[in-house]
Structure 1
């Protein structure tokens, strides 16, 4: 028998009802996602180590690696240094947005 720190025995709670409830909630959430958005969720970013910037005459800024949609699935675009001119100062990762014509991929981009 398992005992708590104070020495009193612990009661065993039924595990099956809790697992059933979790499974139902997860299943409903998955069904809700599939009903509202036919596309898979964006995967978590792949960790990258930002290398030292190359020595160049023009100013560069780091564009982090990101997932992009190629029409049939997500593809990883590695991080890279890009010219700072012409870019905003805030990086926005890609996301799916619901429009009047259905779901549309908003690609990653720089915001000004």
Structure 2
């Protein structure tokens, strides 16, 4: 959590798409006592998942870095905190198979 807003993002030319890879754009990270630009990079794609980019979010004058990660159902909630991991409409605590790979 920081009180200082991150600088505006730097312009980066996104490379051509690669099969089986996802481009993570560059972003600012807080290191020590200052913001440091982290250049974009490739990560291996995970079938059935959507990659959520790292981003800064402000809450009441404080800035919080939300790291990037994989999201199975595309709702923006990291799956370890997700209330319905397989997206079938049944909350995990009532679902006998919360990670059903055959959901429709």
Query: TM-score normalized by structure 2?
Result: 0.50
Structure with the higher strand share, 1 or 2: 2
Structure with the higher helix share, 1 or 2: 1
Query: TM-score normalized by structure 1?
Result: 0.47
Q: In terms of Rg, which structure is larger?
A: 1
